[in-house]
Amino acid sequence: MAATTSRALELLSLLQSHRHWSARELVDRLGVSDRTLRRDVERLRELGYGIESARGSAGGYRLEAGTGMPPLLLTDDEGVAIAVGLRSQATAGLRGAEHTTLSALAKIEQVLPPALRRRIDALQSHATVGAGGRGASGRPVPEIDAELLGLLALGCRDSERLRFRYTDAAGEVSSRVVEPYRLVPVARRWYLLAWDRERDDWRTFRLDRVSEVFPTRVHFEPRALTDEAARDRVEAALRWRERSLKATVIVDLPHPEFADYLGWYGRDVTAHGATQSAWPLEADSLENLMMGLMWMPRGVPYRVEGPPEVLEFLAVQAERFAAAARSA
pLDDT confidence band for 138 (50 / 70 / 90): very low
Please give the pLDDT value at position 289: 81
Residue 203: which H helix or E strand, with range?
A: strand 201-206
98 pLDDT more than 50: no
What backbone torsions phi and psi does residue 244 show, to the nearest 5 degrees? -70, 145
Quick one: average pLDDT of 228-249? 72
Q: Please, what is the Cα angle at 100 between 97 and 102, to 5 degrees?
A: 105
Report the CATH number at residue 48.
1.10.10.10
Please give the pLDDT value at position 49: 77
Question: Nearest Cα to 75, choosing from 126, 9, 135?
Answer: 9
Please give the pLDDT value at position 92: 45
Burial class from Cβ neighbours inside 10 Å (0-12, 13-18, 19+) for residue 279 reads buried
Quick one: average pLDDT of 166-182? 84
94 pLDDT more than 50: no
CB within 8 Å of 195: residues ≥ 6 apart: 178, 179, 181, 201, 202, 203, 223
Q: CA-to-CA distance for 239 and 254, rounded, in angstroms? A: 35
Q: What is the mean pLDDT of the chain?
A: 75
Residue 194: half-sphere exposure toward Cβ, Cα within 13 Å: 29
Report the number of distinct structural domains present in the chain.
Answer: 3
Name the residue type at position 238: L
Please give the pLDDT value at position 239: 65
Query: Domain check: are 297 and 267 in the same one?
Result: yes
List the beta bridge partners of residue 186: 189
pLDDT confidence band for 137 (50 / 70 / 90): very low
Q: What share of the chain is helix, strand, coil (3-state, %, to 5)?
A: 45, 25, 30
Query: Domain check: are 233 and 150 in the same one?
Result: yes
Answer yes or no: is 227 within a domain: yes
Question: Nearest Cα to 18, choosing from 62, 69, 83?
Answer: 62
Query: Domain check: are 235 and 255 in the same one?
Result: no
Query: Domain check: are 195 and 259 in the same one?
Result: no
Query: Domain check: are 237 and 158 in the same one?
Result: yes
Please give the pLDDT value at position 84: 64
Domain that holds residue 176: 146-243
CB 155, CB 192: distance < 8 Å: no
23 pLDDT more than 60: yes
Cα distances (angstroms) measured from residue 184 to each of 123, 124, 180: 11, 11, 12
CB 239, CB 222: distance < 8 Å: no
Name the residue type at position 312: E
In terms of average pLDDT, the best of 90-104, 134-148, 302-316 is 302-316
pLDDT confidence band for 59 (50 / 70 / 90): confident
Q: CA-to-CA distance for 192 and 234, rounded, in angstroms? A: 8
Answer yes or no: is 272 within a domain: yes
Please give the pLDDT value at position 240: 56
CB 286, CB 247: distance < 8 Å: no
Query: Domain check: are 262 and 180 in the same one?
Result: no
**pLDDT tens sequence across 184-208:** 777 667 888 888 888 888 888 888 8
Please give the pLDDT value at position 257: 92
Higher local confidence (pLDDT), 118 or 282: 282
212 pLDDT more than 80: yes
Tell me the three-class secondary structure of 235-280, residue by residue: HHHHHHHHHCEEEEEEECCCHHHHHHHHHHHHCCCEEECCCEEEEE
**pLDDT tens sequence across 291-314:** 888 889 989 999 999 888 888 888
Answer yes or no: is 82 within a domain: no
Cα distances (angstroms) measured from residue 4 to each of 9, 12, 27, 160, 211: 9, 12, 14, 43, 38
Provide the pairing of β-strand 302-305 with 21-22: unpaired
Query: Domain check: are 151 and 203 in the same one?
Result: yes
Query: Domain check: are 284 and 319 in the same one?
Result: yes
Please give the pLDDT value at position 83: 67
Answer yes or no: is 124 within a domain: no
Question: Nearest Cα to 194, choosing from 117, 207, 98, 125?
Answer: 207
Report the CATH number at residue 294.
3.30.70
CB 43, CB 8: distance < 8 Å: yes
60 pLDDT more than 90: no
252 pLDDT more than 60: yes
CB 258, CB 222: distance < 8 Å: no
**pLDDT tens sequence across 25-37:** 888 888 888 888 8
Report the Cα 305 to chain-centroid distance in Å.
Answer: 32
Higher local confidence (pLDDT), 112 or 260: 260
